[in-house]
Amino acid sequence: MNKETISKDYANDMIFELEKAFWDERGKGARFRLTTLGRDFFKTKCLPKLQSTEIDDMVRMIESVLKENGIVGGISLEVDGRLLRVRIEGCVHRPVEDRLVAQETKPFACMPANMISLAIDSKLNRPSELAEIKLVDGACQILIVLFEKKPF
């Protein structure tokens, strides 16, 4: 079997064009449609390794998987009650966010942040929302809001 790969630049160009088209069509509503971005990756690569119900442990495991797959350089986390402040460094998709900002569109999708939200929902039965993405000092500052457990 021959494994062909495409360049990261090409992949990010396509992601940018898709995100920009979606934003142009849906505006701020687009961000609520991209919360599932990475769901299959999460189910196959992360969920089988997810053992702990501690948020910090879940983020460490996700960081490990994403680093192993060349997606991020590192993830740091600060938990402040219902707020998760996440710093993502060295993300392979950062050029997409930079291009959105250059076209005066706020970043609105983040696959690594989605992994964290999917883990919290899967292991803790708590919904969460990606509230903000800021580009700071070469990293992405992510704010995720946690909600109460879902009723059964």
Average pLDDT for residues 2-9, to the nearest whole number?
80
Residue 30 has pLDDT above 90, yes or no: no
At residue 149, the 3 state secondary structure works out as coil
Structural domain contains residue 65: yes
**Cα–Cα–Cα angle for 30, 151, 32, nearest 5°?**
5
Predicted TM-score (pTM) of the model is 0.89
Structural domain contains residue 99: yes
At residue 139, the 3 state secondary structure works out as strand
Ranges assigned E (strand) in 12-147: 74-80, 83-89, 128-136, 139-146
Average pLDDT for residues 81-97, to the nearest whole number?
96
Per the structure, the count of domains in the chain is 1
Structural domain contains residue 100: yes
Please indicate whether residue 1 or residue 74 has the higher confidence score (pLDDT): 74
Structural domain range at position 73: 8-146
Instruction: Give the per-residue pLDDT at 133.
Output: 95
The enclosing domain of 29 has a CATH number of 3.30.1380
Structural domain contains residue 2: no
Structural domain contains residue 40: yes
Structural domain contains residue 151: no
Sign of CA dihedral 32, 34, 40, 45: negative
Structural domain contains residue 13: yes
What does the mean pLDDT of the chain come to? Answer: 92
Whole-number percent of the chain with pLDDT over 90: 79
Q: Could you write out the DSSP letters of every residue in 4-49?
A: ----HHHHHHHHHHHHHHHHHHHGGGHHHHSTTTTHHHIIIIIGGG
Instruction: Give the per-residue pLDDT at 1.
Output: 45
Q: pLDDT (tens digit, 9 = 90+) per residue, 38-47?
A: 999 999 999 9
